[in-house]
Amino acid sequence: MQYDRTVKLFGQDNLEKFLNTKIILLGVGGVGSFALDALYNTGIKNITIVDFDTYEESNMNRQLGSHGNIGRIKVEALKEKYPEVTPIHVKITPEWIDEFNFDEYDLILDAIDDIKPKVHLIKKYFTKVITTSGSAKRIDPSKIEYKSIWETYNDPFIRKIRTELKNQGFKKKFKVIFSSENPNCIEKGSFQGVTASFGLMMASITVQKIIKKN
C-alpha cells in the first residue's frame, strides 16, 4: 500500500485529511522543491506550484528537479515528476497576489525570495500562510526554528521583512521558519543540508496544521 507508513504514523483519518487538502506553494527552489516532495509523498497531492524561473546550473547543488532539466521552466519539469500538481508559470508580485484567488486553498506556503511580494502576502493572508526566511549562507540545520517573526534574530533577510511589516502597520501574531545561525558568507552560498531542511520543516508544519484542523 502506497501510504502504509503514513497511516501507521498519522492514522487513516489524517490520511483522508491529507488527500482532501488543497495547497498552493509559492516558489519551488531549494526550499520549496523539498517541501513539495515531502508533502506529495505523504499524500498531499492537490498542490498548485507557482514559480517564474528556469533551471540554471547553479541550482544543481540544492534544488530537486534541476538535474537533467537545465534551461527548462521549473514548474513544467516538476509537473512531470509530480503529475497531480497544478503548475503556474508566473512572476509573483504584489499585483499578482491581489489578482489571484487564494480563497480555495486551505494553506499558502511561501518560499518566495523577494521582499515586496512576501510582505504583501503575509499582510493579506497571514492566517493561512506558512512562510520561510532565506536558507542561504548557513551550514547547521539544527539552528532552524519556527517562532514569532518579532522574536527572530541573526537573520538579515527576515529582519527586512519584519521592518517592512512594521512600517506598513502590521502587528499581528505571525510565526516564520528561520535560522538563528549567523551567515557564513556574504554572497548567496548554499548547502542542501540546510536548504532542504527548511523545506522539510515547512512540510512538517503544514502536516501538523492539517492534523489540527477539524
Q: Can you tell me the mean pLDDT for 64-84?
A: 95
For residue range 85-142, what is the model confidence (pLDDT) as tens digits?
A: 999 999 999 999 999 999 999 999 999 999 999 999 999 999 999 999 988 899 999 9
Q: Got the DSSP string for the chain?
A: -TTHHHHHHH-HHHHHHHHT-EEEEE--STTHHHHHHHHHHHT--EEEEEE--B--GGGGGT-TT-TT-TTSBHHHHHHHHSTTSEEEE----HHHHHHS--TT-SEEEE----HHHHHHHHHHHGGGEEEE---TT---GGGEEEEEGGG--S-HHHHHHHHHHHHTT-----EEEEE-SPPS-SS----HHHHHHHHHHHHHHHHHHHHH--
Question: For position 188, what pLDDT does the model report?
Answer: 85
pLDDT band at 191; cut points 50, 70, 90 = very high
Query: Can you say whether the dihedral through the CA atoms of 209, 210, 212, 213 is positive or negative?
Result: positive
- What domains, with CATH codes, occur in the chain? 4-212 (3.40.50.720)
Q: How confident is the model at residue 32 (pLDDT cuts 50, 70, 90)?
A: very high
The whole-model pTM stands at 0.96
Cα gap 94→126, rounded to integer Å: 14
Question: What pLDDT is stored for residue 39 in this prediction?
Answer: 98
